[in-house]
Structure 1
Amino acid sequence: MPQKQHPLYFIAIIPTSSVREELQGLKELFRDKYSSKASLNSPPHITLHMPFKFSDKKKERMLKSLTNVAAHQERFEVELKNFSAFTPRVIYADIVENEALKELQRSIVEMCRVDLKLLNANYKNQAYHPHITLAFRDLKKPAFAEAWKEFENKKYNARFLVNSFSLLKHDGSKWSVDTEFSIA
């Protein structure tokens, strides 16, 4: 009998509805105008912990640990300002430097290392760079160049209160919220 694969999860902040809808509209613009639809496989979000596989048998422990992190976190505001890019494929809404956001991310990474024994918290050991991806891996280089001309000087500003973070689960084709954790 084939061995069952562990589900794939990641941890993220999902913006409040009005900001989420604006960002979703921008993702759809990238799909319609620049043929980049991969970002539509997840809701607009700020990643706190990159995707990881985790056993369903141990999920209760993960949920308790994430609930504990949320219980010790205070609400804070996030400001999105303009756009930036990871050349040659990624365009994103940029986030104004935010110590509370960095602290939440550090708390989650530490909890995942200590409680869950996850060791893949950083992508290729790069520093945490919070952002909200609008277009990425399927954005072809010529389309990136054209889109970046449109977005590099475009003004954008939004703010939202972070009063929760979410555990997202992949269903084989897209990501959706599995569990939301309220911040006190």
Structure 2
Amino acid sequence: MTGDSTSRFQAGRTGLIVKVPEAEPVVRAWRERFDPSARAGVPAHITVLFPFLGESRMDERVRTALTDVLGRQQAFDLRFENCGRFPGVLYLAPEPELELRRLTEVIADHWPEAPPYGGQFTQIVPHLTVADGLDDAVLDEIEAGLLGKLPFTSRVSSVDLMVYDGTKWQEGASFPLLE
């Protein structure tokens, strides 16, 4: 859910994420200061698909389809040992990326009306945002502080639906992957 500021979050908007709890001790302080999604209640994560369907469309049929689609995807491990950048953004780069891209693709294929990032970008680049909207000098400082805390690993065993209620992002459901 990178790139949104709290003023651009809309009540009823949803997103699908992979939580990365192992990243919290590494990135929490930076995210709380420099990532609007953290201030709005989103934990350290990698976005799978944002925006997804509006909350009004999240009926039992959609939830069952998500359970089916994601339940056929194999759980996997990620390693975080490097940072990456977009303009004004510092992120942790997960490895390998293939499984994360596959999660996005299978969901986007099933719901073509919900392209990744609203169709704004042509390439899917899985990432865990640490800081957003800063100049390179500040990002350099943050990155220098992060590198001493890497590497770490994380197990991806579910995809979580997040729903914005107008004030905070709340977990709406969790969909397990195949173990």
Shorter-chain TM range is 0.7 to 0.9
| Aligned CA-pair RMSD | 2.4
Q: TM-score, normalised by structure 2?
A: 0.79
Q: SS where residue 51 of structure 1 aligns?
A: coil
Partner of 1:14: 19
What amino acid does structure 1 have at the position aligned with 2:76?
Answer: F
Cα displacement string for residues 12-50 of structure 1 (whole angstroms, at most 9, x for unaligned residues): 1112x3x04324xx232354xxx5251412111111111
Structure 2, unmatched stretches of 5+, are: 1-9
Write the distance in 2 (CA, Å) between the matches of 1:134 and 1:37: 6
Partner of 2:139: 147
- Say which one has the larger Rg: 1
Match of 1:120 among 106, 109, 115: 115
Partner of 2:5: none
Q: TM-score, normalised by structure 1?
A: 0.77
Partner of 2:158: 164
Contact 2:80 2:92 (C-alpha < 8 Å) held by counterparts: yes
Q: SS where residue 95 of structure 1 aligns?
A: strand
Contact 2:11 2:165 (C-alpha < 8 Å) held by counterparts: no
Structure 1, unmatched stretches of 5+, are: none
Write the distance in 2 (CA, Å) between the matches of 1:93 and 1:58: 30
Query: Quick one: structure 1 residues 65 and 92, their matched pair in 2 at CA, closer, same or farther if it must change by over 3 Å?
Result: same
Matched, 1:79 2:74: no
Query: Quick one: structure 1 residues 151 and 71, their matched pair in 2 at CA, closer, same or farther if it must change by over 3 Å?
Result: same
- Which segment drifts farther, 56-65 or 164-173? 56-65
Query: Quick one: structure 1 residues 145 and 174, their matched pair in 2 at CA, closer, same or farther if it must change by over 3 Å?
Result: farther
Query: What are the equivalent positions in structure 2 for 1:5-154 lying under 5 Å apart?
Result: 7-15=12-20, 17=21, 19-23=22-26, 26-29=27-30, 31=32, 35-40=33-38, 41=40, 42-56=42-56, 58-87=58-87, 89-113=88-112, 118-122=113-117, 123-137=119-133, 139=134, 141=135, 144-151=136-143, 154=147
Query: Quick one: structure 1 residues 128 and 57, their matched pair in 2 at CA, closer, same or farther if it must change by over 3 Å?
Result: closer
Deviation at 1:63, TM superposition (A): 0.7
